[in-house]
Every structure is written in C-alpha cells, then in structure tokens.
Amino acid sequence: MNWFIDPIVKQYADFNGRTGQEAFWMYVLIYWIVILVAGTISDIIGGILALALLLPNLAITARRLHDVGKSGWWMLVSLIPIIGAVILIVFCATKSDEGPNQYGSPSSTNSKLADLSPIPPPNQSVQETNQSEDRA
C-alpha cells in the first residue's frame, strides 16, 4: 500500500524528479482498484476521490515521463482521442534512463530494482554467480 500512500502524502504535488516504472505502475494499479471500489459504493464518493487524487496522478505521471527523458508536458498528448492515450502509455511503459538525465538522478526504486536483478552482469557467468552466492 506504500506504493499508493507515499506519492500522495510525501509528493502530493511534486512535479520535480523521477519515478521508476514499478513505483508508477503499482500506484496506477492501486489507484484504479480504489476508484472502482469507491465508485461501486457511491458515485459521489468515487468522484470526490478521483478529484482529490487528480494532482498526485498528474505529478507521478510527470515524474514518470521525466524518468524516460520526456517533459511532463507530454501528458497533454492524451487529449488527442485514442492515439494520445496510447502514446502516453507507451512513454510510461518505456524503460527508464539508466543514468542521470536533465531531470535528475534515477529514482531510488530503480536502483533498488537493479540490485535485485537475478541476471548476472555480462562479464560474469551464471556458474560464477552461484559460486559467489554460496560463499556469502
């Protein structure tokens, strides 16, 4: 649930910086579940909740676009019917820039995910990786 709460509480209207893929998509998933449940209970509650979360949605999307090297203004492309939404989804699904870009350093989520990667570096074989894990 921290994927959903942290962007709302700590970065409510923070359009600066970067947000990694996992953090963005987990927020989107939990957002839609919450909105659907609230809308099922009452249309008014769902509408008020959607309105209250409009700014965090815009902020996390802008930070996600920053993570792939695009300006947050690219969100406006979603105003083009159908094609605009597809373009925005493609941008948000694009792999993050690995190093720093004009919007800052990669988010901590990206670096944590890189540390957990089960794929060995290109110059290290799988057997060498297993041997080093056995020693640890």
- How many domains does the chain fold into? 1
Rounded Cα distance between 19 and 92, Å, is 10
SS3 call for 120: coil
pLDDT of residue 62: 92
Strand partners, 104: 101
Q: Whole-model pTM?
A: 0.71
Per-residue pLDDT of the chain (136 residues; tens, 9 = 90+): 677 887 788 888 888 889 888 889 999 999 999 999 999 999 999 999 999 999 999 999 999 999 998 988 999 998 999 999 999 999 999 888 888 888 888 865 444 444 434 445 556 555 555 555 555 5
What one-character-per-residue DSSP string does 54-117 give? HHHHHHHHHHHHHHTT--GGGGGGGGSTTHHHHHHHHHHHSPPPSS-BTTBSPPHHHHHHHHT-
Strand partners, 101: 104
Give Cβ neighbours of residue 64 (< 8 Å, ≥ 6 apart): 18, 19, 21, 24, 91, 92
Structural domain boundaries, residue 129: 2-135
